[in-house]
Structure 1
Amino acid sequence: MEEKKKFVWADSLRVAATVAVITVHASASIPPLFGQVPQSIWWTANIIDCLARFCVPVFVMLSGALLLRNYSSTAVFFRKRFLRIVFPFLFWSLIYSLLQLSVKTSRLWHMSIAEYLSFFWKQLAEDTISYHFWYIYMIMGLYILIPFIGGLVRSASDHLLLGFTGIWFLLIFCIDFLGTDTEIYDVLRYLGYLPLGYYLGKKDLNKNTRLVSLLFIVLGLLITTIGTFWLSNQRGTFDAAFYGYTSPNILLFSVGVFMLFRCSGWRLSNQAGSFINQYSYGIYLVHVLVLSQVKLPWLNSYPLIGIPLTVIFCLAASGTVILLVNKLPGGKYVSG
């Protein structure tokens, strides 16, 4: 019980990251319209998008902080983690795939069961079912590594952990110029966030750390927002280089957010937050399906209002879907 109390901040941080990832996807349609929409609309969407860019790094750092700290047998770890991930993922992959074929193309009605299963397996193998599922492939790859690197991380000194993180970051920063984009590379690309999360999760932080974390957040946001505008303006078209989840500015921003929640010790104080925390994975899986059906007319014209309203609606609708699925027989195994 005492061990759980030490990590109450992680619940609030998970909720914030869940809201942030929906915000990224809700605002994603406007920044690429650089030069095609009024500056005020573009800047509003750019700032909102940048404010949410900590989502993926923080999710991975949370995994490092919570899963690397204790040892459990490899078999127990895989059974607990992969069953919780794989069953919901396969279920919602099936839903997305069926809807794509039946609603968007009508191909489903002309396929035999064998043909569909072959098609579905190909989609899974090529990660073509939904754009946000890349994260599931990446996190499963990281989970495979956790039992093997856990002992090394726990026995390493703080200097060694920071040294490894620095080397990882420099390698990723260099390799990014090669344009490599594969599931295996995604695993390596985000690997350094695990020991970094472990280090920040166990480090003694105090109230003075808030100043450092706020400095990181402000610097990260300024570099991301202004840098994106500068690059896009130079090219004459939208350039998302500063949006990258392993870019220096997003790394700085994400570390700042993580530290701020950690040293502040914020706790969940309402049922809505507790629900989002408990079903964050399920909400992540289903939210793109909900977003695809949300067409608020004022999203692109008034992003300051449209994006938050879209996020709230999507969050509420996704949570409702997960709650209903959870109440079905066996639903708890696929709701996430």
Structure 2
Amino acid sequence: MKRIVYVDYLKALGIIGVIIIHLSSKYLTETQFLSPIWIQGVAVESFVRFSIILFVMASGVLLLRKKQTVEDLPRRLKRVLLPYLFWFIIYFIVKMVKVHGISYMLSISNTLNLLITALADPTILSVQFWFVYMIVGVYLVSPIISTWVEHAKRSEIRYFLAIWFALIIISMVEFRFILVEYLNCFMGFVGYFILGHYLHNTKNVYLRSPRVGLLLYLLGVVITLLGFILTSYFAGSNNYTFIKLGDLTLNSALQATGMFIILKNMDYTKVFGRFESSITKLATYLSILSFGIYLSNILLINLFFKFGFYNVAVSPFINVPIFTIITILLCSVMLLILNKIPYLNKITGIT
């Protein structure tokens, strides 16, 4: 099936943003609270909270354009789980050696206990693994969702998205409302999945305007930046209400919606001029490698940090762009090498 150009841009920008988040987060945890360099780290991170969401929205575009069947699931899950299991093993071994030592690994009971715990919650090995379980969950219900989307009226899809968006806002407030808890069981990241499909097919003049997209994106950035700094200031430590793992937040939803609208409706030839072909090829390249880079990048970033190459004493405005490029290049080379090796080419995540 023919590639959708703007979807490649979504995934390319998404993986760049993910790496920026992983790098800038070091400034939030490893520098002095409320110091100038801490604020710079918050600023950098605040501009890319759309990142992981773009992958889910891109999946909504690609999967919900045709009916998904239960028979499609094994093939789709295999493409996600094989690369994940490979990197799970790598991170598992690193965790065992780094935290517990080689002697710990010699005990079968210790190894099995950690293995079972890590399979249940792989974020104890590396934080980015939460995405794999989330997207597997979305894939599992995609046959049901695609059937509903195929037969639902546009007004019914808007109704779903309105409830979902309201729940995101309510969930950010520290007040327990049990109805919200039960509704969240049926929504969560499925909302971003359906939102991607809706924005792809909408004819609304405002949702087809890059200027509206830019406004939504910048509004999301401002809310993220001020929200994180102010809540953290009053809490006396980092407060992650506006920067949550998974980004089911008002500010991140605004950023992702805005960025989606921009990339979907951008005239790439007009913006990039004679460089459009080269930049689009680069975006396609990053899109193809994005899942493999996503799974492997934290291993490299942790090595950079451990051996002092990535120094948070340096401004993130300088440090983060440099190491984002280095991380992407090294991960790409590694994945392309693995892709040339028989059997290992099945686990690179190259799509």
* Structure-2-length-normalised TM-score: 0.85
- Give the corresponding residue for 1:74: 70
Query: Does residue 89 of structure 2 align to residue 97 of structure 1?
Result: no
Q: Is the 8 A contact 1:12 1:268 kept in 2?
A: no
- 1:250 to 1:275, Cα distance in 2 relative to 1, 3 A: same
3-state SS of 2:304 partner: coil
Aligned residues of 2:16 and 2:324 also touching (Cα < 8 A): yes
Residues 187 and 284 (structure 1 numbering): CA distance in 2 closer, same or farther, change over 3 Å?
Answer: farther
Q: Work out the CA distance in 1 between the residues paired with 2:227 and 2:343.
A: 48
Large movers: runs of 4+ above 6 Å: 205-208
Map residues 256-335 of structure 1 onto 2, 5 A cutoff: 256-264=258-266, 266=268, 269-270=278-279, 271-295=281-305, 296-335=309-348
1:59 alignment counterpart: 55
> 1:294 is paired with a residue of what secondary structure?
helix
Match of 1:236 in 2: 236
Q: How does 1:121-132 map to 2 (within 5 A)?
A: 121-127=116-122, 128-132=124-128
Q: Is the 8 A contact 1:205 1:262 kept in 2?
A: no
User: Is residue 2:170 matched to residue 1:148?
Assistant: no
Aligned AA (1:285)? L
Counterpart code for 1:62: A
1:31 to 28, 40, 52: 28
Q: Is the 8 A contact 2:33 2:237 kept in 1?
A: no
CA deviation map 1:158-189 (0-9, x unaligned): 22112101112323443454799xxxx79842
Return closer, same or farther for 1:203/1:110 CA change in 2, 3 Å cut-off. closer
Aligned-pair CA distance for 1:304: 1.0
Identical residues among aligned pairs (%) = 28
Q: CA deviation at 1:219?
A: 1.1
SS of residue paired to 1:292 = helix
Q: Partners in 1 of 2:99 and 2:299 — Cα distance?
A: 13
1:11 Cα deviation from its structure 2 partner: 0.4
**One-letter code of the match for 1:65?**
V
What residue is the counterpart of 2:6 in the other structure? 9
- 1:257-306 Cα distance to aligned partner (Å, 9 max, x none): 00000001547635543322111111101011111101335433321111
Q: Which runs of 5 or more residues in structure 2 are unaligned?
A: 179-183, 269-275
In structure 1, C-alpha distance between the alignment counterparts of 2:155 and 2:218, rounded to whole Å = 26
Q: Which amino acid aligns with 1:329?
A: P
> Which position in structure 2 is the counterpart of 1:192?
191
Whether 1:83 and 2:78 are equivalent positions in the alignment is: yes
CA-based RMSD of the aligned residues comes to 2.6
- Deviation string 1:309-334 (CA, Å, 9 cap, x unpaired) is 12111111111221121122212210
- 1:219 equivalent to 2:229? Answer no
CA gap of 1:36–1:115, structure 2 versus 1, over 3 A, is closer
* Cα distance in 2 between the residues matched to 1:247 and 1:24: 16
Shift of 1:107: 3.6
Gapped regions of structure 1 (runs ≥ 5): none
State the 1:235 CA deviation.
2.1
- Tell me the distance in 2 between the aligned counterparts of 1:91 and 1:13: 25
